Amino acid sequence: MGVSTDGILFYGFCWDEECNLLNPGEEKDEEKDEEKDEEEWAERIARRRGHDNPWDTFPKGIDDMPYPEQRAQCDAWVEAHGPEIDRWREVTAAITEEYDCDINYHCSGDYPMPYLYIATSLITANRGYPKTVPALTVGDDWDARLKRFITDLGVTPPEGQEPGWWLVSYWV
């Protein structure tokens, strides 16, 4: 297994400590919440807009079944709910595109610290693969997009911080 030490450049907000952006006050569980934060924000907004997540009706207890039965039940459920699942994916993808913002993590896999950013501003350079950085310009609507994003998600930016360019690393 190799070690990744990516350099990450983005425009947005950056935290310098571990925290749970979408569920402040709850203890951070790196194994669950990192993946949850990356995906959950669009789902959260979709729910607020009145959309139902079909996966909420997925039968409980399937994980406890023998694999052949588990597979058959899963396949049958997905086939029966295919149009709903497709619609949910379309809704969350449209929300993701609408905001052009996202949440990710820097520092390390053991101590993930969040950042919230304009998705199209992101530049990542993997170790050994340098990237050219174009002029660091800011889109006319980026600050407004970020403000709407954090407001709609109920996220409080780090104290005294305004949106800006950040260079961070991530050690995995």
| HEC sequence for the chain | CCCCEEEEEEEEEECCCCCCCCCCCCCCCHHHHHHHHHHHHHHHHHHHCCCCCHHHHCCCCHHHCCHHHHHHHHHHHHHHCHHHHHHHHHHHHHHHHHHCEEEEEEEECCCEEEEEEEHHHCEEECCCCCCCCCCCCCCCCHHHHHHHHHHHHCCCCCCCCCCEEEEEEEEC
Q: What is the pLDDT of residue 86?
A: 97
Provide the residue range defining the domain that includes 16: 5-171
Average pLDDT, 10 consecutive residues per value, the chain (172 residues): 81 94 70 52 95 93 88 93 96 96 93 95 92 92 97 94 96 83
**What is the reported pTM?**
0.82
Q: What is the pLDDT of residue 64?
A: 87
Token match 């930016």: residue?
Answer: 157
Q: What is the pLDDT of residue 13?
A: 98
The tally of domains found in the chain comes to 1
Residue 161: closest CA among 126, 119, 116, 124? 116
Q: What is the pLDDT of residue 4?
A: 75
Q: What is the pLDDT of residue 127?
A: 85
